[in-house]
Structure 1
Amino acid sequence: MTILIDPPRWPAHGRLWSHLVSDENLAELHAFARAAGIPERGFDADHYDVPDERYTSLIAAGAVPVESRELLARLISAGLRRRRQHRRPG
């Protein structure tokens, strides 16, 4: 079981964002996010969106940095990839 994080390169709301995922199960992902103080509102179907200023601290907490393509491939391989139902306003 591994928590993965990609580089903060996704722009939204005037900042850059990373994606935080599990390559095993969502329970593991939610537990990691709770322990790291990531708000539930950051969860989006199969990942947490986290701002760039959290990147280093999440790696220090145990998230493994990977490139975005690897993160997506491992999410799909684990059977956890979910398409967004709708875009959140904001």
Structure 2
Amino acid sequence: MAVYVDDAIWRWKGRKWCHLMADGEAELHRFAHRLGIHRLSYQGPPKTAAPHYDITGLERDRALRMGALSISRREVVALYRKVRVRKGALQAAE
């Protein structure tokens, strides 16, 4: 399993932001915890289809030093499709 940060950095509220994603949700939460990201920052079902955290550019740099892999916009879209929770799957789990 791996953890990823995209290189699609955007500006919002005076900071640069990107996405922290992983092959699995448990790995994503473990890495975010090690990175010092609070669980309240998590964005996943039902709010969004793909589990992720929005992180700042500074947190991105630290994540890369901790072993996260940098991925392109095209790669993040492919990862999003791989890890997204489809509506039917979410309903089946309820």
TM over 0.5: yes
TM range (shorter): 0.7 to 0.9
Any stretches of 5+ residues in structure 1 without a counterpart? 84-90
Max Rg structure: 2
Is 1:47 the counterpart of 2:46? The answer is no
Distance in 1, matches of 2:63 and 2:39, equals 16
1:74-89 to structure 2, matched below 5 A, reads: 74-77=79-82, 80-82=83-85
Moved over 3 A (4+): none
CA RMSD in angstroms comes to 1.7
How many angstroms apart in 1 are the aligned matches of 2:40 and 2:22?
A: 17
Please give the TM-score of this superposition, normalised by the length of structure 2.
0.75
- Equivalent residue of 1:62, what SS? coil
Unpaired segments ≥5 residues, structure 2? 45-50, 87-94
Q: Which has the higher helix share?
A: 2
Q: How does 1:3-42 map to 2 (within 5 A)?
A: 3-7=3-7, 9-23=9-23, 25-42=24-41
Q: Would the alpha carbon gap of residues 69 and 8 (structure 1) be closer, same or farther in structure 2, given more than 3 Å must change?
A: closer
How many residues in Structure 1 have an aligned counterpart in Structure 2?
80
User: Normalising to structure 1: TM-score of the pair?
Assistant: 0.78
Aligned AA for 1:65?
Answer: S
| 2: CA distance, partners of 1:15 / 1:66 | 20
C-alpha distance in 1 between matches for 2:4 and 2:20 = 6
Percent of residue pairs bearing the same amino acid type: 34
